[in-house]
Amino acid sequence: MASLSQEWDEETSVTEAAEAAKPTAAEDPERAFLIVLVGGTVGEMFKLPDGEAVIGRSRRCDVCLPDDGVSREHAKILSIGDQVWLLDLGSRNGTLVNGERVASRQQLRDGDKIQVGRTTILKFTYHDSLEQSFQQQMYESALRDGLTKIYNKRYFTERLESELKFAVRHRADLALLLVDIDHFKQVNDTHGHLVGDAVLAAVAQALAKSIRNEDVVARYGGEEFALLLRATPASHVRSMAERLRRTIESLAIDTGEPVPVHVTASIGVACYPEVGARAPDDLIEAADKALYRAKHAGRNRVSG
């Protein structure tokens, strides 16, 4: 039986694999791709390998889709000469091409729309390396906050939903941290918005460098950041939150002014299953209440 960490890797963190699939000049001038049109990772692009590729929810699949309506191994793509065929693998919710259910196998043509499961729709198409690079840049811009370059709230919200579903299903540890820069309005009022932007970028990068690859940090809104920590016991989460607080407190942010800018942050912590969350909003509410307590207890502290 697979370990919990193996299961987690299979069912979540799809985006990291997508980001690694960058085009190079040595690649074939035109290749077959699947692009997510509707689903949890809209815009994500999968380059299909020669031979066969499996579509499914499992991380081991060539086309991994974090959708509970998609079977672990849902369908298969076969490249035979210059023809590409789609086969359903006995999936629970079926596979459709242009609205028609695939009974045995279906030849794919450029532009075909493939529905897998209840909600995910893919487009089958051919791209050269320039088109692939453009599509990848568009996908990146949809995921990243333009100022801080970390993930944006939209991506974070989608990841929180998939991570919590996994944690509930396997009774696994999952922690949400909300980090709010203290007195940020004073920074803007005293130094100007350009300095405020520099502070946001510096704090974001400090947070990003302090977490593991499998964890997530995002700009949640304004001067607030959100972090998701996987498979980490609550006691370790609180120790890490305290380290993050000290890291932010120790930053000497170079903004081009004679004296570096220093800031502090308040952090609210919510841990599953300690918090009996059944939906993302439950975990967010618990972390938000903890953040409120930290700020009203004097700021520059961890609560939760």
Q: Which residues are catalytic?
A: 223
What is the separation of C-alpha 242 from the centre of its chain, rounded to a whole number of angstroms? 24
DSSP 156-208: HHHHHHHHHHHHHHHT--EEEEEEEETTHHHHHHHH-HHHHHHHHHHHHHHHH
CA distance 57 to 183: 43
User: Reduced to 3 states, what is the DSSP secondary structure of residue 53?
Assistant: strand
Contact 119, 69 (CB under 8 A): yes
CA distance 191 to 155: 31
CA distance 137 to 198: 24
Provide the pairing of β-strand 52-56 with 63-64. parallel
